Amino acid sequence: MAEANNNSQIKVLIVDDLTSLRLQLKLLLEQYRDFAVIGEAENGEEALIQVSRLKPDVILMDVSMPVMDGIEASRTILEKSPAIKIIMLTASDNERDIFASLAAGACGYCLKDFAPERIIAAIQGVQAGDIWLDSAIAAKVIKLYEAPRPTLPGDGNGRGSAAALESDQAEQTREIEEPLSQRELDVLRLVVKGYSNKQIAEELTVSAETIKTHMRHIMEKLAVNDRTHAAVKALRKGLL
């Protein structure tokens, strides 16, 4: 069993609206001397209070909770305490939640059907400065970030034709020649931070319909089908 907290232990705060999961995680971590569970919270607002009072090293944070969800809570916590490491816990491998969590500053993303040794490795990894992703999540992130590799018609030896190459270069140039406006960049920066359209509208003091129009123009200019890929492409191209 874990002993009383000392300077060498990793102080962990558990945030989840399910009492049973909080208990499961607490019982697991208490078996290891390296960890000290210093508190619990059942929603994001409670987490903010506990963080201010307890100063944890690592937070195990549920993505979906009432009152304040884990993404908003993470963003708020890290604005004030950037040294804290946050591992998101979720039953979902939804790409939007993954991207919003990482954009909010989370260092890890773990599915709730975790094996005990994996959650231990996750906590130790993020505390050491690593990014830790569940293997199923990592595959999605890699797919999301990998640059497109167009297939070019060739001569049978893997060499693409000059015409096809010029066409691809022209497409890249076309994108560059349609730059995003300053307001569109402002919208994208908030998307990267995990803001919803409603939150962006409130931040920029415009209507939600205006934000929808901006998003449509952004996706057209970047040749993508949703806001997540728009944010990823903008980051990859160095637009933000």
Number of domains in the chain: 2
C-alpha–C-alpha distance, residues 238 and 235, integer Å: 5
Largest Cα separation within the chain, whole Å, is 70
Q: Which two tokens stand for residue 122?
A: 């996750």
Q: Which of 101-126 are b and which e, b meaning 16 or more Cβ less than 10 Å from the residue's Cβ? A: bbbbbbbbbbbbebeeeebbbbbbbb
The amino acid that residue 69 corresponds to is D
- CATH of residue 43's domain is 3.40.50.2300
Query: Do the domain assignments include residue 126?
Result: yes
Instruction: Tell whether 132 and 187 lie within a shared domain.
Output: no
Check: pTM over 0.75? Answer yes or no.
Answer: no
What are the tens digits of pLDDT across the range 42-60?
Answer: 999 999 999 999 999 999 9
Residue 114: domain span: 10-143
Instruction: Answer whether residue 36 shows pLDDT above 70.
Output: yes
Instruction: Answer whether residue 74 shows pLDDT above 70.
Output: yes
* Proportion of the chain in helix, strand, coil states, percent, rounded to 5: 50, 15, 35
Instruction: Answer whether residue 221 shows pLDDT above 60.
Output: yes
- The number of residues making up the chain comes to 240
C-alpha–C-alpha distance, residues 20 and 23, integer Å: 5
Query: Do the domain assignments include residue 155?
Result: no
Q: Is the dihedral of CA 200, 67, 22, 113 positive or negative?
A: negative
Which of the residue ranges 79-93, 115-129, 164-178, 192-206 would you say has the lowest mean pLDDT? 164-178
Instruction: Tell whether 139 and 188 lie within a shared domain.
Output: no
Q: Which two tokens stand for residue 240?
A: 């933000």
